[in-house]
Amino acid sequence: MTVTLDDLRRVKLFAGLAPASLAALAPLASARSYRDGDSILLEGEEAAGVLFVLEGAARVYRTSPEGREQTLILLHAGDALNLPTPFAPSPVAPASAVAVGDSRLLALPLAAFRRAASEIPDLALAVMGDLAARLRHFTRLTYDLSLRSVRGRLARFLLRHASADAPSPVRWTQEEVAAQLGTVREVVSRTLRAFVREGLIRLDRQRILILDREALERESES
Amino acid sequence: MQDWALPTIHPQECTGCGLCVQYCPTAAVELVDGKPVIVRPADCAYCGLCEENCPTGAIELAYEIGFGAA
Ligand code: SF4
Ligand code: SF4
């Protein structure tokens, strides 16, 4: 699938690049479409290129030996998927990624991306900015997983994903929520029931409705 | 998005054991050719017992998250 300059412009890292730089990258880039749930990258495999989400979304996760999944990050259109790879000592992927919804990704060969970053200072700075944001994300995630209780994590998840706008809300299964929180479905189910009993939330068929936002916010600090 | 959500069934993961049918309090789900089908959608209470009792995670309920009044 050919890659247009417009495709490249959708990548946040490339937003500030001069048209000539973009035009130089375009012939090296390739794009690929994925259906919802398709595997993009497998943990332990060598990544052939650095990947960027053009459309849709990608979920990066790791699987424990017992088969439990921990979602590490959810990436959206414009985000880089494996930005450290071209600069890492090994191209082996430390985590897996799957498409969330029908998605399209752009790939650039590792060497070509490294070269571009060494030649274009604006790109090098943008890469550092992106890596710094990612470092911050993983610092927060480490704190969440090691120091916050499941109740706290679930409370924060509900607050963060509650949408006031009804038209096209995202639906989450308890299994998906568990993968986000680093726990199992049964614990999510039990904690939701506890929140209902305590009057923090209400279940209205397929809706989880937050009733006591302040109490849930207090809970999310635990 | 439809307002009357129903459990999602993943036939590839389903072993056809029928536990979901056995535990469904309203008989909304039945096995058809060995796989579960929500045959009486209007009767499904979205209670989640099918999901809870499915050994393979083949039947799932999805939830929207929002703000509401008590
Ligand atoms: S959610 Fe409850 S009522 Fe609906 S099919 Fe499953 S067990 Fe039956
Ligand atoms: S309980 Fe699960 S595996 Fe068994 S028939 Fe129902 S959906 Fe299939």
Distance B41 CA to ligand 1 centre (A): 9
Half-sphere exposure of B55 (CA within 13 A, CB side): 6
CB atoms A208 and B57 under 8 Å: no
Find out whether the beta carbon of B52 lies less than 6 Å from any atom of ligand 1.
no
Per-position DSSP letters for chain A, written without gaps between them: ----HHHHHHSGGGTT--HHHHHHHGGG-EEEEE-TT-EEE-TTSBPSEEEEEEEEEEEEEEE-TTS-EEEEEEEETT-BSSTTGGGSS--B-SSEEEEEEEEEEEEEEHHHHHHHHHH-HHHHHHHHHHHHHHHHHHHHHHHHHHHS-HHHHHHHHHHHH--S--SS---EEHHHHHHHHTS-HHHHHHHHHHHHHTTSEEEETTEEEES-HHHHHHHHT-
**Among the listed ranges A28-37, A66-75, A126-135, which one has the minimum average pLDDT value?**
A66-75
B9-43 pLDDT, tens digit per residue, is 999 999 999 999 999 999 999 999 999 999 999 99
Spatial distance between the Cα atoms of A133 and A149, rounded to a whole number of angstroms? 24
- Give chain B positions within 8 Å (CB) of A164: 66-67
Pocket test for ligand 1, best of B47, B52, B53 (most atoms within 8 A of CB): B47
Task: Specify the 3-state DSSP secondary structure of B42.
Answer: helix
Domain boundaries, chain B: 8-60
Burial class of A214 by CB neighbour count within 10 A (0 to 12, 13 to 18, 19+): exposed
B52-69 pLDDT, tens digit per residue, is 999 999 999 999 999 987
Rounded to the nearest 10°, the torsion over CA A18, A20, A21, A24 is 160
| B31 Cα to chain A: minimum distance (Å) | 22
Percent residues over pLDDT 90 in chain A: 69
Task: Specify the 3-state DSSP secondary structure of B45.
Answer: coil
Percent residues over pLDDT 70 in chain A: 97
Tell whether B67 lies on the interface with A, counting CB pairs under 8 A: yes
CB atoms A210 and B62 under 8 Å: no
More confident residue, A184 or A1: A184
pLDDT at residue number B70: 62
Find out whether the beta carbon of B41 lies less than 6 Å from any atom of ligand 1.
no
Nearest CB to A162 within list B48, B51, B65: B65
What ipTM was predicted for this assembly?
A: 0.86
CA neighbor of A129 nearest in space, from A143, A117, A140, A141: A117
Burial class of A133 by CB neighbour count within 10 A (0 to 12, 13 to 18, 19+): exposed
pLDDT at residue number B58: 95
Spatial distance between the Cα atoms of A22 and A108, rounded to a whole number of angstroms? 12
Contact predicate A68/A184, CB 8 Å: yes
Which atom of ligand 1 is nearest the CA belonging to B26? 3
Task: Specify the 3-state DSSP secondary structure of B61.
Answer: coil
A119-176 pLDDT, tens digit per residue, is 999 999 999 999 999 999 998 888 878 778 899 999 999 998 887 654 456 789 999 9
Take atom 6 of ligand 1 and give the residue whose Cα is closest: B50
Give me the mean pLDDT over the A36-52 stretch: 93
Find out whether the beta carbon of B36 lies less than 6 Å from any atom of ligand 1.
no
DSSP secondary-structure letter at B15? -
CB atoms B62 and A163 under 8 Å: no
**CATH number belonging to domain B8-60:** 3.30.70.20
> β-strand B62-67 against A207-210: which pairing, if any?
parallel
- Give chain B positions within 8 Å (CB) of A170: 64
Query: Does the pLDDT value for residue A64 go beyond 90?
Result: no
- Give chain B positions within 8 Å (CB) of A216: none
Spatial distance between the Cα atoms of A175 and A188, rounded to a whole number of angstroms? 8
Give me the mean pLDDT over the A76-88 stretch: 93
pLDDT at residue number B2: 57
pLDDT at residue number A167: 46
- Give chain A positions within 8 Å (CB) of B1: 168-169, 171
Spatial distance between the Cα atoms of B2 and A160, rounded to a whole number of angstroms? 23
Q: Please, which pLDDT band fits residue A97 given cuts at 50, 70 and 90?
A: very high
pLDDT at residue number B5: 92
